Amino acid sequence: MLFLKIVAGFFIAFVLLLVVGFFFIRWKFRRWIDKFADALKEAAAGGVPPFRIHLRKRERDEEEDEDDWLDDENIEAFKARSAEFESLGFTKLEDYHVDEIMTQMRVFVDEKTCTYGIVYSHPLIKVWCDVVRKYEDGTGWTFGTTKYHGMDIHPKSTHRFFPDESLTEVVTKFKEEAPREDAILATKEDFPALFEKAYAEEMDWRISRDGPTEEEIRRIAQMNDDECTDEQVQQIQTQWRMAISEFQKERVLKRYRKSAELNSFQWDHLQNYGVVVHDKMRAEELLEIFDEEYYPTSPGESDDEDLDEEELEMRAEWEKRLRELRAALQQGPPQQVFRNLVEIGNGESTDQWEFQSSVTEPIAADIWIRTYGDEDSDAWDDDE
């Protein structure tokens, strides 16, 4: 359902605020960040939210208290918003856990007007609500009780924010303004699959944009009354691109496994040693794949800070290679650039690269197998 896209957008914006804050406002919120560091790590490893989620129906244990599934600080507000939806003519549909983003949600429906009401609970974001209507053409309207998060809105979504108005006022506005023609409803049984699909569509749209744009990052920083340097923007975008590449790798390898009919041993080997080079990669990603010692410079990090002469020489060599790779990417796709890199580099490195296949779905990519030099079969011989 389309309201899921709002969860994605809001959560992404929230994580971005923390990532941006880590670079240039962390001193203001040091205690706050320390308190929730573990939670953030679980919710969005490395500052990037999950690209897929799964809806898990709440199964109440006989010994479980009615409110045990919620964060203690959220119980009162969650119950109040739930009661308010019911007073407005909504009927409870189901309770769900979204483990990947540490969120609990209660879904209500007003079948007469084809309108959903959702109450969310999160240990950091606390409690908020959405009023949603989905249409046959895939578009949707959402009115939420949160403030504008700073992220761009999906082209198929109309989303408005009312942080200073009551839920009753938001529902009233929604029913007055949101179109009713061609609105649709999902059954309770179909709800989880539609929810997950909508989230995937939202994230795929953001992936197609290579993650957050510079405008989005700067907008969020401005909303937080902070400046944002070019280096900080680059670091955040690089972090997202790395996560996107890892996600694409998993998708490509799973698709290849099916088409190539790999057995369990071959699949295990591919998972451990397979490398995917897709057509959205940039110079930093190609170099990180080829040279595992490479790592991007963090914002504000001086080239000579805490580096000895050998490390400075290595970083200078990386910068030279990055310039060469960027120039090569102006002339051809990442797959061809990487092939050329392997052809040249195999003569210098102890690692060996073996091309496996090219695929076009779910993204155009080449699949390689890397054999590490220190894993030569002779290395496993018993000492004499």
- 326-371 residue pLDDT tens: 999 999 999 999 999 898 875 456 788 999 999 998 899 999 999 8
pLDDT at 120 over 80: yes
- Report residue 8 as tokens: 């994605």
Is the pLDDT score of 299 beyond 50?
no
Give residue-wise pLDDT tens across range 208-244: 998 899 999 888 888 878 778 888 888 888 888 888 9
Query: Residue 303: is its pLDDT beyond 60?
Result: no
137-180 tens-digit pLDDT: 988 899 999 988 888 999 998 999 999 999 999 999 999 999 99
Q: What is the pLDDT of residues 3-36, one digit of tens each?
A: 444 445 555 555 554 444 444 333 333 333 343 3
Q: What is the pLDDT of residue 91?
A: 96
Helix and strand totals (H; E) in the chain: 11, 11
Q: How far is CA 44 from CA 29, 40, 41, 135, 214, in A?
A: 19, 6, 6, 31, 20
Report residue 40 as tokens: 């953030």
Exposed/middle/buried for residue 66 (C-beta within 10 Å: 0-12, 13-18, 19+): exposed
Q: Which residues contact 70 (CB under 8 A, 6 or more apart)?
A: 78, 104, 121
Q: Which of 315, 313, 269 is nearest to 291 (CA)?
A: 315
What pLDDT, on the 0 to 100 scale, is given for residue 252?
94
pLDDT in tens, 48-79: 888 999 999 998 776 677 888 999 999 999 99
The residues near 346 (Cβ < 8 Å, ≥ 6 apart) are 352, 353
pLDDT at 382: 45
Mean of the pLDDT values across residues 124-133? Answer: 91
Q: What is the pLDDT of residue 106?
A: 96
Residue burial 308-326, b: 16+ Cβ < 10 Å; e: rest:
eeeeeeebeebeebbeebe
pLDDT at 38: 41
Q: Are the beta carbons of 283 and 335 closer than 8 angstroms? A: no
Would you kindly state where each structural domain of the chain is located, as residue ranges?
3-219, 230-380
pTM for the model stands at: 0.77
Ranking 110-124, 127-141, 280-294 by mean pLDDT, the lowest is: 280-294
Predicted pLDDT of residue 9: 53
How confident is the model at residue 20, as a pLDDT? 47
Three-state SS at 107: strand
pLDDT value of position 297: 60
Residue 362 preceded by cis peptide, ω within 30? yes
Which has more pLDDT, 273 or 32? 273
Burial group, residue 333, by CB count within 10 angstroms (0-12, 13-18, 19+): middle
User: Residue type for 157, please?
Assistant: S
- Rounded Cα distance between 110 and 279, Å, is 45
pLDDT of residue 348: 58
